[in-house]
Amino acid sequence: MSVLDTPVDAKIPDIGLESPPLSLSEMAWRRFRRHKLAIASSFLLLFLILFTFGGALIYSEADANFNDTTKRLQAPTAEHPFGTDTIGRDILARTIYGGQISILIGLTAVIVQVVVGVIIGAISGYYGGWLDSLLMRITEAILTIPTLFLLLVMAKFFSGKVPDLNFFGRTFSGSVVVIILIIGLTSWPRLARIVRAEFLALKENDFILAARATGTSNTQIMFKHILPNTVAPIVVTATLSVAGAIIFEAYISFLGMGVQPPTATWGNMITGATTYIEYAPWLWFFPGVLILLTVLSINFVGDGLRDALDPRSRPE
Amino acid sequence: MTRYIIRRILQSIPLLFIISLILFLLLNNIGDPLTMMGGRNPTRPDDRARLARQLGLDKPVTTQYLYWLIGNDWTMIDVDGDGIPDIPGERLGVLRGDFGTSIVTRGKPVSEIIWDRIPNTLLLMVPAQIFILLFGVIVGVYSALRQYSWVDNAVTTLSFVGFSMPIFLIALLSIYFFSVLFQRWGLPNLPANGMFDPRVGKTAGQVAKHMILPLFSIAFIDIARYSRYVRSAMLEVMSQDYIRTAKAKGLKRYYIIFIHAMRNALLPIVTLVGLDLPFLLAGAVVTERIFAWPGMGRLFLDHLQRADGPVVMGIVMILAVFVIFSQILTDIAYAALDPRIRY
């Protein structure tokens, strides 16, 4: 092999000066990687998702709802690693299926939140005027009512009004849909405000003027030209909102006004547990700790994402 | 400043109007409060119709809202349904300070029901806020001054655990540990529910003893949050030029920290406290349920579950007014404390 065969690049010692400019996603990844707890949390989150969705391969949904009243309130054993509940259902199987519902509620509620929040924030920020004032008064009104109170009132309002649904060969209690809806519909104001602020700043840019000059429609400008520039704060807020949604679902279900049994969620598994604090701590310990771990890891990932995508927006 | 305050108060009127409208529409459809009124037997149809007319529940929502807002003492009620008005209305409406009467507890005024419970909730919430503030500041300042030390790292991690913690988990864990296990080990243990031991009566000592666990649960979560805010505020202030000047002048370290840095770092905390105070009242729903504490949160749950619209409406409206009031107060306090702020 002659000297000429080797590429020129190889002769230049790599001291980091000549490396090509980093793309945005590479830069974000570098910043995210520095947040060690966020990386660890990503793995924890992956594990929790594997646990809840992979666990379905071992336990069927029927196992989760099967009750054997001769085996009530049994402490954890090899047969029932997390013990059994008040009517003899296996808690491990229920945490698996409950986790699926809790995580699904967290994710879908945030989808509702993002859709509503982005549309309202975009319209408000882009058009301004009386439409903006009206939408912002409604936003403020929802922010002024303490969230949990509003959620509980809405849960009561919608309860029993949504029929059970069938998806993927499984029956979802109508109460699941209700929870998704109400969490989504009460959590959008914060996001709407963020999106509005971004739109207010971005719409003054020259590229918007250019787009308008070429006759681009308002909808096109809003969602094709401005929205992509606001993705970073939206992603960060949405991630952190998943954690919030999971906690709120747990609170509502814990108070007995959320998802109704036999459908399990981590929240409604704890509902009756206050009576058994002393005799059956495993009733509330496992679902409680799973909620904590899930919310904790999502919060860390969200924090890492904020460092990575939106470093200036740290709350000081 | 006065003009600013007046403007804020005027702005809050349409806001409260929108809130009350949203809530009224929601609460109008939460269930049938008349079902429970027959006591043990189901309410008879003719009683039901009479009650509905008497309570104004047969009217359209708009009329009901109007009655709620300005009362119905200017109209007559047709109780027996024969088309001839019988008795004058007695409600004064919210605008004249009358929140109506509870449907569940048969005509007891809503304001009376709520006032009975507010002291209990405040008894829990005011000390909680003091603890949160005190420990939040101590922990936050300490870990800011030792940034990236193991204490700081531990505090940061723990504060994430704190605000990711569902309140029922910390409550159940603390009950299990301090009341169940301590009893099992023969140590002095703490009571886990109620406000006092009925055998002893409602003495100050009893109430204080029953407050410890709920206080701990509430404070644990918020100390975590506060310490993070304090830490980042303190870090920012400590990197300012005037702190370097103070150091260069050879001022004592504690003097720099307490007189120069902390006063500025704690300024944003005023906002945090002001905005949190009303929500602390709200956060008590779950805690009060677990510890069987007879406060506003439990009142809200009990009456919501029995579809008692007037009481629920009263509680949430009082909270909303409280939220708006403390927001305005926070802005005023901030302007008073920070001369750079002008309205």
Report pLDDT digits (tens) over A217-232.
999 999 999 999 888 8
Nearest by CB to A243, from B15, B157, B164: name it: B164
Give me chain B's average pLDDT, please: 82
Q: Is residue A10 predicted with pLDDT exceeding 80?
A: no
Is B164 within 8 Å of A146 when comparing Cβ atoms? no
Residue B197 has pLDDT above 90, yes or no: no
Phi-psi region for residue B89, left (φ > 0), alpha (ψ -120 to 50) or beta? beta
Which helix (H) or strand (E) is A152 found in, with range? helix A147-158
Residue type, B208: A
If phi > 0 it is left, if psi is from -120 to 50 it is alpha, else beta; for residue B93 that is left
Q: How far apart are CA A162 and CA B184, in angstroms?
A: 47
CB contact under 8 A, A270 and B168: yes
Query: Using the beta-carbon criterion (under 8 Å), do A273 and B324 form an inter-chain contact?
Result: no
Give the count of Cβ contacts less than 8 A between chain A and B. Answer: 132
**What value of ipTM does the predicted structure carry?**
0.86
pLDDT number for residue A314: 52
The predicted structure's pLDDT at residue A303? 86
Q: Out of B38-52, B102-116, B152-166, pick the least confident.
A: B38-52
Tell which of A45, A144, A284 to mutate to test the B interface (max B CBs under 10 Å).
Answer: A144
| DSSP letter assigned to residue B343 | -
User: What is the Cα–Cα distance from A268 to A284, expressed in whole angstroms?
Assistant: 10
Instruction: Give the pLDDT confidence score for residue A316 in this predicted structure.
Output: 38
Distance between CA atoms of residues B141 and B126, nearest Å: 22
CA B271 to centroid of chain Cα atoms? 17
Q: How far is A153 from chain B (nearest CA, A)?
A: 7
Q: What is the DSSP string of A57-74?
A: GTS-HHHHH---GGGTTP
Interface test with A, best of B164, B175, B180 (most A CBs within 10 A): B164
Return the domain boundaries, chain A. Answer: 51-308
Q: What average pLDDT does this structure show over A119-124?
A: 94
Cβ-contact B76, B85 below 8 angstroms: yes
pLDDT at A108: 93
- pLDDT value at residue A315: 47
Alpha helices in B28-86 (DSSP H): 45-55, 61-70
Angle at B49 between CA B48 and CA B53, to 5 degrees: 115
Confidence of residue A146 (pLDDT cuts 50, 70, 90): confident
CA contacts within 13 A on the Cβ side of A15: 4
Would the pLDDT of B259 be above 90?
no
- Residue A215 is classified by DSSP as T
DSSP character string of B128-177: HHHHHHHHHHHHHHHHHHTTTSHHHHHHHHHHHHHHHS-HHHHHHHHIII
Instruction: Find out whether A173 and A260 touch, Cβ atoms under 8 Å.
Output: yes
pLDDT(A99) > 70: yes
What crossing angle do the helices spanning A36-49 and A282-309 adopt, rounded to 10°?
130
**Interface test with chain A among B168, B264, B319, by most A beta carbons within 10 Å:** B168
Single out the residue of A284, A236, A266 nearest to residue A105, CA to CA: A266
CB nearest to A250's CB, from B166, B172, B283:
B166
Chain A residues bordering chain B (beta-carbon distance below 8 Å): 37, 137-138, 140-142, 144-150, 152-154, 156-157, 243, 247, 250-251, 254-255, 257, 270, 273-274, 277-278, 281, 284-285, 288-289, 291-292, 295-296, 299-300, 303, 314-316
The encoded tokens of residue A119 equal 């549309």
A276 secondary structure, DSSP code: G
Which CATH superfamily hosts domain A51-308?
Answer: MetI-like (1.10.3720.10)
Assign B194 to helix, strand or coil: coil
User: pLDDT tier at A293 (50, 70, 90 boundaries)?
Assistant: very high
Stated pTM of the model: 0.86
| Omega before residue A262 within 30° of 0, cis | yes
* Rounded-to-integer distance, Cα A173 and Cα A161, Å: 11
Of A63-77, A267-281, B294-308, give the lowest mean pLDDT range.
A63-77
Contacts of B115 (CB under 8 A, 6+ apart): none
Cβ neighbours, 10 Å, residue B227: 26
Rounded Cα distance, A82 and A92, in Å: 5
Phi, psi for residue B266 in degrees, rounded to 5: -85, -10
CA–CA min distance A2, chain B (Å)? 53
Please give the Cα distance from B17 to A278 (Å, whole number).
47
Is there a cis peptide before residue A228, judged by omega within 30 degrees of 0? Answer: no
pLDDT in tens, B25-50: 888 877 777 776 656 666 677 777 77
